Amino acid sequence: MTVADTTHRLQRLKKAPASPLRRAVLTGLVFGIVGIYLAAVGILLMIHGRAIIVDVLSLGQAALIAIALGAGAFIARRETARRLPEVLLHSVLAGAITGLMLAALVLAMDTFDLRSIFIALSPQLEEMLTFGFDDIFTGLAILVFASAVLGGLGAILAHASPAIRKPINIGIVAVVVFGVFQELIQLILPTADWFDPIHDLIYTYEGLTQEGSLIIFAIAAGLSALWSWYEGRETAAERDATERHAGTVVKVLAALVLVVVLPLVAGNYIGQVLMLVGLYILMGMGLNLEIGLAGLLDLGFVAFFAVGAYTTALLTADSPHALAAYTAFPSLSYWQAMPLAVLASVVVGVLFGIPVLGVRGDYLAVATMGLGEIVRVIVQSDAAAPLLAGAEGILQIPKPRVFGFELGDPVELFYLTLVCAGIAAYFAWRLENSRLGRAWMAVRDDEDVAQALGINLVKVKLLAYGLGAAFAGLAGSIFAVMLTSVYPSSFQLLVSINVLALIIVGGMGSLPGVIVGALALVGLPELLREFGEYRYLFYGVALILMMRLRPEGLWPSATRRRELRAAAEGADPELEPAPSIAAVTAPEPPQGQ
């Protein structure tokens, strides 16, 4: 047999569909390995200490349940053409194999001294996986049986109609959220005497009660079912356009009311988290102009953030390093310094863009990263220390004042950030739909064609860098008064990478995507801070799943969605008409039309 014949047979084997039995076995092995990994690195035991329902269910047990359910659901999704009894059989097998993998881990822990290699494989983990039974084999038998049953339940849920599956999923998620974040939620709940019986019915000191979990599940599932019924009354084509528009307006207004009211009710911690989200939204909108619209990959974006913060500090601080300390200029108020900080960021952004005008692609990313590092090194250098204070930083930056009232706590500063983000979002939206925005998109699609159509590449690129830097400078100015100090360590390369990541996750070129991406990658990790360094593991897994399952982003722009759909279908998006280029030369419509 020749090498060519062997290669041909291997290719035919790869193309041949896997048998249902083989798929069930492989699925069980994969999900079992996921469970073993969570146990070996210590995540499973660590989250087992967090109760979801007191004396009934912990977060670690919920993770094991989710793994077994996921194995069954995966089989059901892959075997949609088969009858339910066959799918159930294969799903039960996948769940049982998942349980067997975990049982094998327990037996290995009981037989060998694995803790010298993996410290997390402790007796406490063994007790968890065997449900506390003295007879280890009884506990493992229950583990395998429960995994098999959960695999079947996962298949049943996956095969159920959306009208049944969605409310159940929403109810389960609501119970998990109310259980995991019980400390935070109890701080938000009213403290009046009339609410005490309701509080005691839902929560104890340790977490959710059984009655409370049933109430939360019923309310969440009921609201989800009611909403699905309302949405399903008519198809989208049958609905009146006015009704659809009114529904969208109601959703937007409800979201705004929630954003405005939540910090007042939740307190300073939630206000601090939302403020950080707002600052990243501001930076995300600026970087979205450069990358999402103009296609200019910028990894030195944190430099503009630093310029805005340091300019505000130098102009307002009561410090020996402030300009007022060694010049005739008096210290400025925040409202006087903020426009100057934005202007300084714009100037630096334009200067930043000049050296990289002729650079494209990956080389542009490396070049901008180098320019950003130059700014950071200059700030930390001894040569600039008399002006910028070096590693000591600039302290005693005053808080903003409005009509004599100081915006001191995180909630008050959040509202400042919210107002600035709203104004910036309006300008970003107008820029996206302007002639300049169409020119940016033309440059992103093809620089040579855009230049042939008469677009001035130098002007357009420098405007992208300058206007993008303005958003980052505004965020840096608010950041300086939030901390009342600035240090070089606050402006690392990781800030630029985080802003780029939230744009990718939210949806490249999408303004709503920036908001969703900031909530997902900044807000959620802050709420998970109590899980320590493991939250970065969750962060990385979420990014990988995001790129695999939804590469266009959580809320992509129409253009990005069209390009990815064309690539997935094998079409060449370059051969399709490019509306962004064609629209550049079209005159702008008169205002008011």
- Of 257-271, 276-290, 403-417, 460-474, the poorest mean pLDDT is in 257-271
Mean pLDDT of the chain: 84
Helices (H), 119-240: 123-129, 136-159, 162-180, 182-188, 196-202, 210-231
Where do we find the tokens 């230049």? 451
Q: In Å, how far are 93, 240, 242 from 235, measured between CA atoms?
A: 39, 10, 14
567 backbone dihedrals φ, ψ, rounded to 5°: -65, -40
Q: Is the pTM of this model over 0.85?
A: no
* pLDDT the model gives residue 115: 85
- Summarised one tens digit per residue, pLDDT across range 566-593 is 666 665 444 444 444 344 444 444 444 3
pLDDT at 527 over 60: yes
Where do we find the tokens 């390093």? 321
**Which residue in 288, 256, 307, 345 sits closest to 502, CA to CA?**
288
Beta strands in 393-524 (DSSP E): 401-402, 405-406
User: In the structure encoding, which two tokens stand for residue 262, read together?
Assistant: 């939540």
**Which residue in 514, 515, 537, 516 sits closest to 525, CA to CA?**
537
Where do we find the tokens 């997902």? 520
- Of 7-16, 221-230, 511-520, 580-589, the poorest mean pLDDT is in 580-589
Measured CA to CA, the distance from residue 288 to residue 291 in angstroms comes to: 5
3-state secondary structure (DSSP) of residue 337: helix
* pLDDT the model gives residue 548: 78
Measured CA to CA, the distance from residue 466 to residue 297 in angstroms comes to: 14
- Summarised one tens digit per residue, pLDDT across range 181-218 is 887 788 777 777 888 888 888 998 878 999 999 999 99
User: Beta strand pairing status for 57-58 and 51-53?
Assistant: antiparallel
pLDDT at 163 over 60: yes
* pLDDT the model gives residue 82: 72
Q: What share of the chain is helix, strand, coil (3-state, %, to 5)?
A: 75, 0, 25
Q: What's the rounded mean pLDDT across residues 30-55?
A: 90
* pLDDT the model gives residue 241: 57
Q: In Å, how far are 308, 312, 332 from 329, measured between CA atoms?
A: 19, 14, 9
pLDDT tier, 432 (very low <50, low <70, confident <90, very high otherwise):
confident
Of residues 245 and 163, more confidence is placed in: 163
pLDDT at 235 over 60: no
Where do we find the tokens 């935070």? 184
- Of 162-166, 241-245, 327-331, the poorest mean pLDDT is in 241-245
**Cβ atoms 293, 432 nearer than 8 A:** yes
